[in-house]
Amino acid sequence: MKLHKDAKHYIFIIALFAFTLIKAQKASLKAADSLYTIGNYTEAIKVYQNIDPKDDYILLKIAKAHKAKGTYADALVYYEKVLQLDTESLSVKLEYAKLLTTTRKYKKADSVYAGLVSQYPDNPNFYYQLGSVKKKQKDSTAIVYFKEAFKLDSTHQKSCFEVAKHFLKKRNYNKVEDIANKGLSSYSENPELINILGQNYLLRKYYYEAIPYFEKLVSLNHSNEYVHASLALCYHKNYDYKLAIAQYQEALKYNDQVPLRYTRLGDAYTSIKEYENALDSYRAALTLKDLPIEEDVMRIAMTYRHQEKWEDAIKHAKIALKENPEFIRAQYQLAVFADAYYKDPKVKLEYYNLFMKKFGKTKDAKNFYGFMVNKRITQLKKEIQASEKAVVEN
């Protein structure tokens, strides 16, 4: 059967129109892709929007452009449209789930990742991502997914960190050590795992063992206030006072409002007999500290004692006792300072008798302090008797 001449003409016109339309769409798509490539996302979206019909490629480009320029709500709408056309696109599901997490739509993200875990049960990253979303929802089952991710791949650094951190909170130190070292065996410069091991030893008061881990963090440029303060304490406990001082000073650059840090710095200076620096540190601690302050005042008193500045030592011991009249160590040291400062044994005896009057019946006084004070009282009484006898004889 032959087509009528007019029908042939119409078919030609339609074909020509379709060809022209397809050519125009291709030109528009090329222009939109070029705009997208150079980061002109707003203009790219406008061009994509004018292309009809929109297939999954164009819808995905619009979603990505919105995501790139930060209009996340619009991006999510277009990701959902893409998934309506292509329900099996793994890459789109991942992008969608990540954006849901970014926009704190955790329940939806949870659902997407749960589906991926069910579909790909051997993929450790999907378990990790599901665990991360559950963690953000404060869901205690998050650790189950982190453990599964680490079980599937012991080189998966992020899941390794989460599992190690979980056991650190539980104070299961041996487990922390085992897990973190497995992770470090595949990537020895993971700062999170190095930090976990440093904390693991620090919490056990294994200061010497903790040092290499905090030193490693500094060498990797992952130092911070916590790292420097921890390293300072470890050096201090290991009697490396000069190294401790340097680290306390680094920690103070981050935060100079921590009285305990100044106190420890003062202790370190005292240990190397830099008494003036120690006094400056103790005074700095006092200016920052709320009550009680008697311990810091006594540190100042003891520093003066090391310098044999007995008047200043006595003065600060009395200040400490004013702050806390029940401070037995201050009362004892006051007697010792007075013993060193005054020449008259009767004056010295008064200070020791004052100690016994206040604390003679306490448990501490019956042990070390009482033994030392009673011994000195006996000696002073003999000195006084000998002196009085000598006066009478003369």
Nearest to 164 by CA among 181, 149, 142: 181
Residues of the chain with pLDDT under 70: 1-28, 290-291, 391-394
Confidence at residue 58, expressed as pLDDT on a 0 to 100 scale: 87
The DSSP string of 253-269 is HH-S--HHHHHHHHHHH
Give the span between the Cα atoms of 31 and 38, in whole angstroms.
11
Give the span between the Cα atoms of 173 and 197, in whole angstroms.
9
Question: Mutual orientation of helices 106-119 and 124-136 as an angle, nearest 10°?
Answer: 160
59 token code pair:
């819808």
How many other β-carbons are positioned within 10 Å of the β-carbon of residue 289? 15
- For 343-390, what is each residue's pLDDT tens digit? 999 999 999 999 999 998 887 777 888 888 999 999 999 988 887 777
**Whole-model pTM over 0.75:** no
DSSP conformation class of 52? S
Give the span between the Cα atoms of 341 and 290, in whole angstroms.
31
Give the span between the Cα atoms of 45 and 356, in whole angstroms.
88
Give the span between the Cα atoms of 199 and 69, in whole angstroms.
40
Confidence at residue 55, expressed as pLDDT on a 0 to 100 scale: 84
Q: Please, what CATH class does the domain formed by 154-222 belong to?
A: mainly alpha
Dihedral sign computed on CA atoms, order 322, 300, 336, 390? negative
313 token code pair:
């030592």
- For 57-66, what is each residue's pLDDT tens digit? 888 888 999 9
Confidence at residue 383, expressed as pLDDT on a 0 to 100 scale: 87
Angle at 232 between CA 302 and CA 248, to 5 degrees: 70
Nearest to 299 by CA among 265, 326, 325, 322: 265
Confidence at residue 27, expressed as pLDDT on a 0 to 100 scale: 67
Confidence at residue 317, expressed as pLDDT on a 0 to 100 scale: 94
Q: Please state, in angstroms and as integers, the Cα–Cα distance from residue 149 to each residue in 110, 129, 165, following that order.
A: 16, 9, 15
Give the span between the Cα atoms of 392 and 394, in whole angstroms.
5
Confidence at residue 287, expressed as pLDDT on a 0 to 100 scale: 86
DSSP conformation class of 45? H
Give the span between the Cα atoms of 45 and 30, in whole angstroms.
13
Nearest to 190 by CA among 149, 225, 143, 158: 158
Give the span between the Cα atoms of 181 and 205, in whole angstroms.
19
Give the span between the Cα atoms of 93 and 115, in whole angstroms.
10
Is residue 361 a contact partner of residue 353, using CB atoms and an 8 Å limit? no
Domain with CATH 1.25.40.10 in the chain: 10-103, 154-222
CATH superfamily of the 10-103 domain? Tetratricopeptide repeat domain (1.25.40.10)
Helix (H), strand (E), coil (C) string for 329-377: HHHHHHHHHHHHHCCCHHHHHHHHHHHHHHHCCCCCCCCHHHHHHHHHH
